[in-house]
Structure 1
Amino acid sequence: MLPALIATPGRRPVPHRLDGAAAVLRAVLHRGSPARTEIIRETGLSAAAVSRHTAELLALGLVRQPPEPDQRPRPGRPRIPLDIDTSHHVVAGVHIAVPRLTFSLTDLRGRVIARERVPRLSRPSAVLHDVAARLPGFLRRYAVGHSVLGLGVVTGGWVDPDAGVLVENAALGWRDIPLRRLLQPVVRLPVHVESHARALAHAELLFGTIGGGDLVHLFVGNAVDAAIATGGGLLQGRGHGAGGVAHLPVPGSTAPCPCGRTGCLQVTVADGTLAQRAAAGGITARPDLRLLLRAAREGDGRAMELCRSRLRMVARAVRPVLDMISPDVLVLTEAATLHLPHLLPELSGELGGAGDLVRTGSFGADTLAVAAAAPVLAAVYQDPLGLRTAGSAR
């Protein structure tokens, strides 16, 4: 039986302040079955410290020593590689969007084991009751025999991860919802709460193919928000409000916003707004983003132009922010470019000199499932000795 870890669900990942065990775990994740000598070089830790932390991580089932292929013995100390152990622990998550909930289960490399989508109910209390009611069955179907390290709860808008509170999600019409306090006693798992832009930025830093450096992650859906990563950690801002781009002005837009202004980014380019335009223009039979994307994939010129116009409006709104931050890369998560990546140059071209820095996210169709689990995974890799296992699913 694996020993238990101490629960600290409110801890925030700050990668440049990693303790020894976390530094070793990150090195194993990023180096790909490194030997201990490589970990020593990567982390700057002493050989004794790496051995001690390796023993801790092995005992907790977070790393393993994969068997080496048969080969002729070499002189000197044998090379004993380490790898992330994906056989013991899993991470659960739920992404709360306007149309639906996405339940997910991932391993410690952020790979999706299972996902299920269900329609979202309207009131916050009904949604959280639905999450608590559905989660045990989901874990029984997919997590039997594994230890569940925690539940990630991810949604759009302004989220305070330390308090576990959704401060505001205008797309849902929710304010001041204490997600952790309401869910944790019911699901009996550590609950980690995060915005989807920051969750995906965490996932990119841990598991993505984008690379390091300063990164801006922009999420465009029914909610529109951003995350800023620098020095391997995420900028939080006052009240965890960094990345709030929903009310950036879109040049030329006159769309009325609930904030009292006109032309704000979220009301101008949100999925629901785009779907309404498609239906009003006769592109789709009803306002449904999936119908618009299907028409675009089938080559409907009007549908393609509507998708392109959204990307141009997004670029015009965020360009001043990007000029100020000068990130190494802008990662975009947005439905049209997820299915039609050849549309990305529409955004890049509008950004001018910054256009060659634009990338789509690393997770494709798994994006929301990975986002849901990312807060727990970020906590594991920030403080591997500070999370407790929740026991095997039954």
Structure 2
Amino acid sequence: MTSKSLPEHNRRHNRSLLLQLLFHTDELSRADLARQSGLTRATVSDVIAELTADGLIVEHGQRTDARVGKPAQLIGLDDRAYHVIALDLSADDAFTGAITTLRGEIVHRISQPIAGARGDEAVALAATIIRDLARRSTVRVLGVGVASPGIIDHAGVVREAPNLGWHDLDLGGRLRRAIDVPVHIVNDANAAALAVHTERRAPGQSLLTIAIEHGVGAGLIIGDALVEGDGFSAGEIGHVIVDDDGELCACGRRGCLEVAIAVPSLRRRLAAEPGDHEQVLRDAGRSLGVALSPVVAALNLNAIVLAGPADLIEGPFLDTALATIRTRTLPDVSSALQMTIAAHPEQLALRGATALVLAAELRIS
């Protein structure tokens, strides 16, 4: 902490606290909110009045269950009060954008082929998608969330995204010229972690999300906080070497995790060895387990979520990865570890971009 707490900080905290409770519960009374938050009823009433004025609260009528006294009035978060514009720039063939509700429900979705666009052309394509979606939105836009490949700092500068030809690019600043609302940028693997965490699709306060597509990236949340690293490159595990004698990687070294488990490499090996389908997937799962074992041991993680094509990562791949972690770590470290597959992985980056805007603008996580 570097400064004292001011009254406006307390107001923001209380507002965030009640929004968080309403976001994760369908409906509550003001008395419920006071009990669960620890705030006084007067403070709850003041904050709810403020949120109602902002159009964020919807009345659900009186409680119908049998209780003593006057039935309480139930309220909830109006998740359609605002739209969020979410962009997924992680695929190598198309940029995808969506209008979502505050809870991540997709209202409208569009996809534009990249057609080899890089550098300024790729930025222009993303800006075009934002403007198109903004015109289609029927309510106020809370903000724009962008899930992008690369190393990205808090200012929205893409320090490095080689596949798009972006180097020290102020992507946030460039996209803000397309729309007069806040724009927030996050690494695509971190977006996946935010989605899983915000939607409570994994137990506990800490989790690791592994995105397996054309590359391999990890998003790490510890104690409810996204871990980005001092250089904003936490989770860049694709080029951890898992086999000194493995295939040559695009980075110039041999045996990187990306070569072992990324989708193009896996599909190529499966096509070359059609009779060894299960063994190919087990070998890939073992490579992932080898890479993750020290991470699980160091952080005592209990939840890992894999996002990728189900036909590749379900079954032998996932089973072998989990077994490898448990074999290479102490039972006290990994016996409670759960490794699962993300639901609707094709939407994960978009949902994570929405979660990023919720966290930045409403402090909901």
TM-score under structure 1 length normalisation: 0.78
Amino acid at match of 1:134: I
2:320 is aligned, of 341, 346, 350, to 346
Query: What is the CA–CA distance in structure 1 between the aligned matches of 2:99 and 2:277, rounded to whole Å?
Result: 34
| Pick aligned residue for 2:128 from 133, 153, 166 | 133
Is 2:347 aligned against 1:366?
Answer: yes
**1:82 offset after TM fit, Å?**
2.1
> Aligned partners of 1:332 and 1:21: how far apart in 2?
33
2:34–2:41 CA contact under 8 A, matched in 1:
yes
Find the counterpart in structure 1 of residue 178 from structure 2: 186
Query: Using the alignment, how far apart are the partners of 1:43 and 1:84 within structure 2?
Result: 16
Alpha-carbon separation, structure 2, partners of 1:341 and 1:378: 34
Structure 1 unpaired stretches of 5+: 1-16, 284-300, 385-394
Once the two structures are TM-superposed, the CA of residue 339 in structure 1 deviates from its matched residue by 7.8
> What SS class does the counterpart of residue 31 from structure 1 fall into?
coil
1:281-312, CA deviations, whole angstroms, 9 ceiling, x for partnerless residues? 176xxxxxxxxxxxxxxxxx655544443332
CA positional deviation for 1:36: 2.0
Identity of aligned residues (%): 28
Q: Is the 8 A contact 2:306 2:341 kept in 1?
A: yes
Q: Distance in 2 between matches of 1:357 and 1:338?
A: 19
Does the 8 Å contact 1:86/1:109 carry over to 2?
Answer: yes
What SS does the aligned partner of 1:240 have? coil
Question: Alignment partner for residue 30 of structure 2, among 22, 36, 59?
Answer: 36
Matched, 1:311 2:261: no
> Cα–Cα, structure 1 residues 337 and 20, in superposed 2: closer, same or farther, change >3 Å?
farther
**Structure 1 counterpart SS, 2:47:** helix
Are 1:195 and 2:187 matched, yes or no? yes
CA distance change for structure 1 residues 181 and 134 in 2, over 3 Å: closer, same or farther?
Answer: same
| 1:247 to 2:239 alignment | yes
Structure 2 unaligned spans of 5+ = 1-10
Asked if 1:50 corresponds to 2:20, the answer is no
Superposed CA offset, 1:88-115 (max 9, x none): 2111111112222111121111222222
Q: Which residue of 2 aligns with 1:378?
A: 359
Query: Residue in 2 aligned with 1:83?
Result: 76
TM (norm. structure 2) is 0.84
Provide closer, same or farther for how the CA distance between residues 47 and 168 of structure 1 changes in structure 2, counting only shifts above 3 A: same
Instruction: Quote the residue 1:290 is aligned against.
Output: none
Query: Cα distance, 1:22 vs. partner?
Result: 0.6
Q: Following TM superposition, by how much is the alpha carbon of 1:25 offset from its aligned partner in structure 2, in angstroms?
A: 0.3
Distance 1:264 1:49 in 2: 55
Comparing 174-183 with 205-214, which one deviates more in the overlay?
205-214
User: Per the alignment, do residues 169 and 277 of structure 1 end up closer, same or farther by CA in structure 2, a change over 3 Å counting?
Assistant: farther
Query: Following the alignment from structure 1 to structure 2, what is the Cα–Cα distance between the partners of residues 315 and 362?
Result: 21
Aligned partner (choices 120, 131, 141) of residue 148 of structure 1: 141
Give the stretch that moved more between structures: 151-160 or 303-312.
303-312
Aligned residue in 1 for 2:298? 324
Is the contact between residue 240 and residue 291 of structure 2 (CA under 8 Å) also seen in structure 1? yes
Residue 218 of structure 1 aligns with an amino acid whose one-letter code is: I
Structure number with greater CO (CA < 8 Å, separation at least 6) is 1
Deviations 1:147-188 (A, max 9, x none): 11111111233221x110122234545332211011111233
C-alpha separation in 2, matches of 1:37 and 1:69: 12
1:159-174, aligned counterparts within 5 Å?
159-160=152-153, 162-174=154-166
CA displacement 1:86-144 (0-9 Å, x = unmatched): 23211111111222211112111122222222222431211111122233333444x2x
Cα separation, 2, equivalents of 1:329 and 1:126:
39
1:107 lines up with 2:105 in the alignment: no
Residue type of the alignment partner of 1:374: A
- Give the whole-Å Cα distance in 2 for the aligned partners of 1:351 and 1:375: 30
**Do residues 119 (structure 1) and 113 (structure 2) align?**
yes
Aligned residues: 346
Partner of 2:4: none
Equivalent residue for 2:215, pick from 223, 229, 232:
223
How far is 1:217 from its partner? Answer: 1.5
State whether structure 2 residue 194 is matched by structure 1 residue 208. Answer: no
8 A contact 1:157–1:223 mirrored in 2: no
Q: Please provide the CA RMSD for this pair.
A: 2.8
Which AA in structure 2 matches 1:83? G
Paired position in structure 2 for 1:67: 61
CA distance in structure 2 between the aligned counterparts of 1:236 and 1:339, rounded to whole angstroms: 26
Distance in structure 1 (CA, Å) of the matches to 2:199 and 2:35: 21
